[in-house]
Amino acid sequence: MRFASSLIVLAAGLAASAAFAQKPGSFGNLPPPPQAPAWRGPAPSPQATLPRDKPPPLGAVAPRGGPGPVPRAPGALAALPTAKPPPLGRIAPGGPGPQAGPGPGAPGRRQMVSSGTGFVVAPRQIMTNQHVAEGCSSMTARLANGGEIAATVIASDRNRDLALLRTDGDPGPVLPFRRAADVRRGENVVTYGFPLAGLLSSGPTLTTGDVSALAGLQDNPRQIQISAPVQQGNSGGPLLDLRGHVVGVIVSKLNAQRIAQATGDIPQNVNFAVKHTEAVDFMREHGVQPVLEDAGAARTAAEVGDIAHASTVFLRCLR
């Protein structure tokens, strides 16, 4: 009887345990965890969806009602240039720029293809670089007073890079050369000329510097190295000492871009001039007698510029 009673009690306990385990979320005597409320907000707007198509490229617009770029109408966006600008001294077709005559293409029309500097070395005689006068069908010289006269090449020397021009009129007073042959390192010098014609000032430019070395590029004995800045267009201009005497003819500057490519460093103020002794010998070889001077008081660079101004000309090479 006791055994039967025990079985009845055990069966009732197991039934109670099964019923307790079937309650959802129950664990012991702890209350069930809170349920998160269901989201009842508005449905996402169709405008909030991210675009799936790429934006049209620059210079094009997407058509109304259809994907994909189409070309923009002409004039809606300025097109980028596809051609290189003309080099200095040349003229773009139909564009502005220095020009002699009405323009190329018709009979009698000539175009300025390069420019440089020259200076008076004898009555109606001008000196410049050979590379300034090379290939010119004719040349003109603009004087200090603004007038222009024709100039003709009468002698040139490719090795020295010098040329002599004869003018139709009086180009100005003669600049004297230094009589003494020596030039010292560290000596102050002045350049005078017309660099970057059409880009910088239309008038002459003066720069100052020193004699850096007594030989040119790769030990060229015909040249000296100077620190006075020079640019394209300075070629053929005078290099003067502080007494106003010519001690060289400006010829070139070091190609900084090529040197930087070769060495990784950009050279500073490395420029060259033909020695005045070479210029004097060149003149004598062609029957032109130079004016040589030693005397004279030291002047300021501005005073030397005043001396050079009346004798320095702007040269145009025409074809």
Task: Determine contact, residues 188/242, Cβ cutoff 8 Å.
Answer: yes
d(CA 311, CA 308): 5
The pLDDT value given to residue 38: 54
Task: Determine contact, residues 69/61, Cβ cutoff 8 Å.
Answer: yes
Give the tokens for residue 143.
């004087």
Three-state DSSP at 211 gives: strand
Strand partners, 226: 211, 271
d(CA 233, CA 146): 18
Three-state DSSP at 219 gives: helix
Helix then strand count (H, E) for the chain reads 5, 16
The pLDDT value given to residue 47: 53
Task: Determine contact, residues 188/240, Cβ cutoff 8 Å.
Answer: no
User: Active-site residue numbers?
Assistant: 131, 161, 235
Domains of the chain, CATH where assigned: 112-318 (2.40.10.120)
d(CA 54, CA 32): 51
Give the tokens for residue 228.
């006075």
Three-state DSSP at 247 gives: strand
d(CA 257, CA 225): 18
In single-letter form, the type of residue at position 312 comes to: T
C-alpha triplet 150, 233, 311: angle, nearest 5°? 55
Give the tokens for residue 114.
């390069």
The pLDDT value given to residue 112: 65
Helix (H) or strand (E) holding 128: strand 125-128
What contacts 24+ positions apart, CB below 8 Å, involve 148-153? 151/118, 151/126, 151/315
Give the tokens for residue 129.
């670089």
How do residues 50-76 score in pLDDT, each as one tens digit? 555 555 555 444 445 545 544 444 444
Helix (H) or strand (E) holding 213: strand 205-213
Residues of the chain below pLDDT 70: 1-110, 112, 198, 200-201, 254-257, 259, 267
The DSSP code sequence of 27-73 is BTTBPPPPPPPPP-SPPPPGGGSPP-SPPPPTTEEPPTTS-S-EEPP
In single-letter form, the type of residue at position 288 comes to: V
Q: Where are the alpha helices (DSSP H) in the chain?
A: 2-21, 130-133, 256-263, 276-285, 301-309
